Amino acid sequence: MISYRFDKLASITGGTLHNTKEASKMFTGVAIDSRLDCNGKLFVAIRGSQNDGHNYISAAIEKGACGIVAEFSYPDLTSIPSYVPVMVVPNSHEAMLTMAAAYRATSRARFVAITGSNGKTTSKELTYHLLLSVEPHSYRSPGNLNNLYGVPLALFGVPSNAEVAVLELGISTKSEMPRLAKIVQPQVVAITNVGPSHLESLSSVEDVAQAKLQLVHAADETVSVIINADDSVLLNEMKKIRDNFITFGIKSKADFYPDSMEPQESGTTLVVIEGNRFNLPLVGQHQVYNLLTAYAICRTLGYNFNEIDTENLSLDTAPMRGQLIEHQGITFLTDCYNANPDSMRAGLEAFFSIQSSKRRVLILGDMLELGKDTIKYHREVGLLLTKYEFDIAIIVGPLATYIAQEAEANGINNSKLSCYSSAAKCAADVKEILNTGDLVYLKASRGIGLEAVLDCFRNEEDN
């Protein structure tokens, strides 16, 4: 984890140190949110579009922050206690990025960068768990710290003894990936797939691919690149950049592929790769792609699993990304951290692949940031529902109403469709709709907050 004296910090950032008597003081770790742990950390006050971190400097100090990065324009610099060193810079965010790049340069670890439209976090988590079986000094970025604010925080957490560090990189505009690439300087790049996501700023799937591939453009020929061979758009765009890359896939010829994939009654999937058996605790073929990404990364780093009991490895992933969980006798396939057309299709396919004689209930919400074709993409989901047999579809959010409209227009009885304007309103009624034994699929973009449905069951269990 990052730990510097404040005089060293001044030389890295080029900032001006106030309260210079405290120059020899050290901080360990960095915080940008005063609501989280600040004890002993450097608090970087960042001006955002919604909040200004300078308004929370006092709160951060009260929570134990041992130093501050603030901007010259902050009018209350002199009000900060004299025992707190303050690094004053023109732009706090830029200073944090500079710090991250400097700290990255000191690490002996090999860095892996995972990007893609879907599966970044799950692939990262699976990579980490595979690596732990062969390299105990492995690190992965916590949560989904994947943008120009999160990646620096992830880098600051890399232990000094780390041998491998796995980070996910996410973007919403073309300008972001080159900056992330410059900071992370990965030795291995993996791209899970490309699809219609962030189309408010990236105009097409090809545009998405080109933006993701900026990570490859920024890399020299010594950097290993791993891509999904079944993603034709990604493959075609990749071939325009270089011809030496590593592939994984299920349908196309690839360097890494499953020998077999067998869904189990428990809800897991038994996947065999190069003779290694893995119990994947996630449902659906799209989750096998995530495991293949992780496996390809480990093998590319030079590790093998010859001496490992892979069938008994714990392959956990982050919450709300495809786990089967049970509350009050109801089984939920929780896939509501994010959503776009591709992940919605893959998730529905996975849900209906589960063997069950119980009622099937869909709870589907808005897919956000899809640009000018937002309505079209939601209507396509409505049409897709006509392929499947289900008992109830609960539709949540203003955009998702187009799912219901298209489903009804194509023959699904109105009595099977129920619409709510928000997740909170849905949660208020859902306990009256669901029955013990139901199998329920939850899918929506994170901004819809569909976990509120789960919370109403969890909260009752906790009371």
> Using one digit for the tens of pLDDT, what is the confidence trace for 239-284?
999 999 999 999 999 999 999 998 887 778 899 999 999 999 888 8
Cβ neighbours for 297, distance < 8 A, ≥ 6 positions apart? 112, 114, 127, 166, 188, 190, 226
CA–CA dist 98, 316 (Å, integer): 33
CA–CA dist 421, 423 (Å, integer): 7
Distances (CA, A) of 25 to 28, 88, 101, 309: 10, 16, 22, 47
DSSP class of residue 391 equals S
pLDDT value at position 429?
93
Tell me: pLDDT of 227 over 60. Answer: yes
144-172 pLDDT, tens digit per residue, is 899 999 999 999 999 999 999 999 999 88
Task: From 284, 312, 340, give the residue that closes a domain.
Answer: 312
Return the CATH number at 131: 3.40.1190.10
212-225 pLDDT, tens digit per residue, is 999 999 999 999 99
- Per DSSP bridges, beta strands 30-31 and 276-280 are unpaired
Give the three-class secondary structure for 100: helix
In this structure, are 380 and 298 located in the same domain? no
pLDDT value at position 173?
84
Within a domain: residue 308?
A: yes
CA–CA dist 138, 367 (Å, integer): 34
Return the CATH number at 71: 3.40.1390.10
Domain count, the chain: 3
395 beta partners: 364, 419
Within a domain: residue 102?
A: no
CA–CA dist 152, 146 (Å, integer): 9
283-337 pLDDT, tens digit per residue, is 888 999 999 999 999 999 999 999 999 999 999 887 778 888 888 889 999 988 8
Within a domain: residue 97?
A: no
Q: Where are the beta strands (DSSP E) in 48-122?
A: 67-71, 86-89, 110-115
Tokens of 186: 């990965």
In this structure, are 278 and 392 located in the same domain? no
Cβ neighbours for 203, distance < 8 A, ≥ 6 positions apart? 371
In this structure, are 294 and 331 located in the same domain? no
Tell me: pLDDT of 198 over 80. Answer: no
Say how many C-beta atoms besides its own lie within 10 A of residue 294's C-beta.
29
Within a domain: residue 101?
A: no
CA–CA dist 302, 88 (Å, integer): 44
pLDDT value at position 449?
92
Q: Are 166 and 201 in contact (CB under 8 A)?
A: no
Give the three-class secondary structure for 392: strand
Of 155, 154, 149, the closest CA to residue 104 belongs to 155
In this structure, are 115 and 78 located in the same domain? no
pLDDT value at position 283?
85
339-389 pLDDT, tens digit per residue, is 999 999 999 998 998 888 889 999 999 999 898 899 999 999 999 999 999
In this structure, are 116 and 253 located in the same domain? yes
pLDDT-above-70 percentage for the chain: 98
42-64 pLDDT, tens digit per residue, is 999 999 888 999 999 999 999 99
Q: Write down how long the chain is.
A: 463
CA–CA dist 273, 255 (Å, integer): 11
In the predicted model, what is the mean pLDDT of the chain?
A: 93
Within a domain: residue 413?
A: yes
pLDDT value at position 201?
66
In this structure, are 179 and 216 located in the same domain? yes
Within a domain: residue 192?
A: yes
By residue range, what is the domain housing residue 421?
Answer: 323-462
